[in-house]
Amino acid sequence: MKKDIRSMDKDALRDFFVSRGDSAFRGNQVYQWLWQKGAHQFEDMTNLSKETRALLDEHFVINHIAVDQMQRSVDGTIKNAVRLHDGLIVESVLIPTKKRTTACVSSQVGCSLDCKFCATARLKKMRNLNADEIYDQVVAIDRESRLYQNMPLSNIVFMGMGEPLMNYNNVLKAIEKITSEEGLGMSPRRITVSTSGIPKMIRKMADEEVKFNLAVSLHSAIDEVRSSIMPFNETFPLSELRAALEYWYSKTKNRITYEYVVWKGVNDQQKDIDALVRFCKFSPAKVNLIEYNPIDGGDYQQASEEAIQNYIKTLEEHHITVTVRRSRGKDIDAACGQLANKS
Ligand code: SAH
């Protein structure tokens, strides 16, 4: 089988040419075609000789993604169904606002976690995405942003399908490409990785002093409640998550964002709010209250407006930043927790 050329770093490409009596510079040229100019085939690499292109064709493939279907919501949100080289599908979303456009990208096909309220959890995990498959989603959304919003992509959130920290190496490699001058040259400060909270990986990120933002899908700061909606919490209880986050903060001094949905009868009481405050007050924090997007056959219901207001009031009293994320793209199943390859 031919090798996916984009699994090779620049040095490996340079070595490939040197070992064949060509110059290392040829490797730089190919690298630029692959990552900066987004070439889909070797034929497109017009400053290479015919022989060089044939040589590449003989040894390698470019496993480029294809946007199979693009849906546009009445609110301007765009959802791409993205076909991978082996026929599997993931989804990514472009979320425009007046001042910026955000790409929401997937890191896995399906998901191995079992959050009861999330549509993606119903697809079993098929495989991890490669770094180039993650990168390609961003490039596709950047193009759509320029085309439909007249501005380049400004932010990226890893909040699509999958658990990014279960595919850590590829997510990190993709972010390196996105932020490098040879890729898109975006600032890591504009990138947010969202995790359901895997303590060991949060510590690893802290040790590696990554520069992007961290968001944690908390949804409850009471073990019993969290385990009932996110069963893997039994394996990684809140005490371990909290210790890992303290470690993250001690290393990065970066504010932590918590994603939080309030459901009727699940986490809408004062004791839930108080537990949240106790959990997150050790560092600068932002709580993002996400509107619940009902999923087919789900048992959950968005809490009352009063319960949400109670959350906002108490958090503000404790000087914790709170924002409410109104969902976008609901009519095309592009909102949080709705990515499930329906079409
Ligand atoms: N696995 C990662 C990335 C997914 S991010 C994580 O868990 O953080 C998607 C966000 O949407 C998460 O905060 C998730 O908990 C939330 N979510 C999932 N299903 C939802 C739903 N039906 N309505 C609203 N938010 C949902």
Dump pLDDT digits (tens) for 70-80.
999 999 999 99
Region 87-93: mean pLDDT is: 95
Q: What is the DSSP letter of 263?
A: B
Over residues 92-126, the pLDDT tens digits come to 999 999 899 999 999 999 999 999 999 998 887 78
What is the three-class DSSP state of 64?
A: coil
> Sorting pLDDT into bands at 50, 70 and 90, what band is 187?
very high
Over residues 193-251, the pLDDT tens digits come to 999 999 999 999 999 999 999 999 999 999 999 999 999 999 999 999 999 999 999 99
Q: Which atom of ligand 1 is nearest to the CA of 293?
A: 23
**Which DSSP helix (H) or strand (E) runs through 324?**
strand 321-325
Q: Which of 290, 300, 338 to mutate to test the pocket of ligand 1 (most atoms within 8 A of CB)?
A: 290
Over residues 242-290, the pLDDT tens digits come to 999 999 999 999 999 999 999 999 999 999 999 999 999 999 999 999 9
The pLDDT, as a whole number, for residue 94 is 97
Task: Determine the Cα–Cα distance for residues 4 and 59; give it in Å rounded to an integer.
Answer: 9
Q: Within 10 Å of residue 298's Cβ, how many Cβ atoms?
A: 15
CATH for 66-332? 3.20.20.70
* 165 Cα to the center of ligand 1, angstroms: 14
The topology (CATH level 3) of 3-61 is DNA polymerase; domain 1 (1.10.150)
**Closest by Cα among 75, 111, 113 to 93:** 75
Residue identifier of the C-alpha nearest atom 3 of ligand 1: 159
* 108 Cα to the center of ligand 1, angstroms: 14
Over residues 292-307, the pLDDT tens digits come to 998 887 789 999 999 9
pTM confidence score = 0.94
Q: Which of 157, 230, 261, 326 to mutate to test the pocket of ligand 1 (most atoms within 8 A of CB)?
A: 261
The pLDDT, as a whole number, for residue 218 is 98
* 29 Cα to the center of ligand 1, angstroms: 40
pLDDT at 135 over 70: yes
The pLDDT, as a whole number, for residue 333 is 87
State the catalytic residues: 91, 336
Domain ranges of the chain: 3-61, 66-332
The pLDDT, as a whole number, for residue 328 is 85
